[in-house]
Amino acid sequence: MDAAAPVGGDAGGVPPLLSVRDLAMTFPGRRSATGRRGAPVRAVDGLSFDLAAGETLGLVGESGCGKSTTGRMLVRLLEPTSGSITFDGKDITHLSQSRMRPLRTRLQMVFQDPHSSLNPRQTVARIISDPLLVQGWSAADARARAAELMELVGLIPEHIDRYPHEFSGGQAQRIGIARSLATNPRLVIADEPVSALDVSVQAQIVNLMERLRRELGLAYVFIAHDLSVVKRVSDRVAVMYLGRIVEIGDKRELYERPRHPYTRALLSAVPLPDPAAERRRERITLLGDPPSPAAPPPGCSFHPRCPKAQEVCRTERPLLRIAAAGERREVACHFPED
């Protein structure tokens, strides 16, 4: 872990629901046309954070920063290269798929593209009740539960025998959410759950997820590249850059006074609702694209694009630590903003 202490929400002395330490994922390099393998890709490079029951952590960053890989490791669709994941008091880092099965009732995932994540040859009844049938429910009970869940997520239960192609994108995402809730999970990892949807539909799905969290006491890790969406749903936010967390903390503090130059740049690109404020505000343009995780820059990996970079940034990697007294927010920068 980068920081001196775990970065976590305030669980009031109760053990966190999810605890991640030094989590890393390295993929083998791609083979070239000549058969030579390229450098390994360090997609996630030492993440540590805690998540309390009922809390939402937003995970944001540009495409390729490692946030989706992180989500897939958290539900163990990918096995981490190193580090640990403790869920509900149990170390799940290297559990076999058969030993993960009982835990999957409490740990679920919602995917980005609702239509491609639903089997087109199955009815909604089958899609939603599948996790229950795996747990040994009878077909009749699982079907009744699927109808209940359709109502819960704002779908018409009478449409239970329809197929995914008969639903719009927003409705299909509601089916995906209903399926994720079938077994009463405590934690849902939502990987870009609204980014494939129209803006008006995005708001409806975000509102639905908010309501479900309140009513069911769910915790979310909400992965997105859109900072306005993350702001609406999160209690805390972690900003990722090139496989690492560069800033993590309370949503209000982070959005009102970002301390990492990368967070500032991302937030400066979010449109403001007030046109006058939008005209006045300073936009920070980042140079170039993020470097390849197969060849990360030395020192601070953000230094080639950072408007504040100094000599030390090119050689010394900044640790994630509390940047200001009285704050719980942590920042990985040699020269955090005041």
Instruction: Tell me the closest approach of the beta carbon of residue 4 to ligand SF4, in angstroms.
Output: 17
Give the C-alpha separation, 293 to 157, whole Å. 46
Structure tokens at 33: 């046309």
Q: Are 318 and 332 in contact (CB under 8 A)?
A: yes
Q: Which stretch binds ligand SF4 (CB under 6 A): 46-54, 127-135, 192-200, 303-311?
A: 303-311
Considering the complex, state which of residue 125 and residue 254 has its C-beta at the smaller distance from ligand SF4.
254
Could you say which of 300, 320, 323, 329 contacts ligand SF4 (CB under 6 A)?
300
Does residue number 78 form part of the binding site for ligand SF4 (CB under 6 A)? no
Given the complex with ligand SF4, which of 225 and 308 has the nearer CB atom? Answer: 308
Q: Does 179 bind ligand SF4 (CB under 6 A)?
A: no
With respect to ligand SF4, which residue has the nearer C-beta, 188 or 323?
A: 323
Task: Tell me the closest approach of the beta carbon of residue 286 to ligand SF4, in angstroms.
Answer: 11
Stretch that binds ligand SF4, among 38-46, 49-57, 205-213, 307-315 (CB under 6 A): 307-315
Query: DSSP per residue over 79-146, as a string?
Result: --SEEEEEETTEE-TT--HHHHGGGGGTEEEE-S-TTTTS-TTS-HHHHHHHHHHHTT--HHHHHHHH
Rounded to an integer, what distance in angstroms lies between the CA atom of residue 258 and that of residue 122?
46
Using CB under 6 A, which of 313, 323, 329, 330 touches ligand SF4? Answer: 313
319 binds ligand SF4 (CB under 6 A): no
Q: Which is nearer to ligand SF4, 143 or 329 (CB)?
A: 329
Q: Which is nearer to ligand SF4, 104 or 334 (CB)?
A: 334
Q: In this chain, which stretch among 4-12, 113-121, 151-159, 296-304 interacts with ligand SF4, using CB under 6 A?
A: 296-304
| 3-state percent breakdown (helix, strand, coil) of the chain, nearest 5 | 35, 20, 45
d(C-alpha 133, C-alpha 148), whole Å: 16
| Three-state DSSP state, 322 | strand
Tell me whether residue 87 or residue 302 sits nearer to ligand SF4 (CB atom).
302
Residue 241 interacting with ligand SF4 (CB under 6 A): no
Shortest distance, CB of residue 333 to ligand SF4, whole angstroms? Answer: 3
Report the chain's C-alpha Rg in angstroms. Answer: 21
Part of the chain binding ligand SF4 (CB under 6 A), chosen from 8-16, 75-83, 140-148, 301-309:
301-309
Pick from 318, 320, 323, 330: which binds ligand SF4 (CB under 6 A)? 318
Distance between CA atoms of 274 and 272, rounded to whole angstroms?
Answer: 5
C-alpha to C-alpha distances, 50 to 8, 10, 26, 232, nearest whole angstrom: 4, 9, 22, 20
Helix axis angle, 139-152 to 124-134, nearest 10°: 120
- The answer to whether 61 contacts ligand SF4 (rule: CB under 6 A) is no
Residues 6 or more apart whose CB falls under 8 angstroms from that of 79 comprise 73, 93, 94
Q: What Å distances lie between residue 291 and 37, 52, 241, CA to CA?
A: 19, 33, 10
Residue 286 binds ligand SF4, judged by CB under 6 A: no
Binding site for ligand SF4 (CB under 6 A): 261, 300, 302-303, 306, 308-309, 313, 318, 333-335
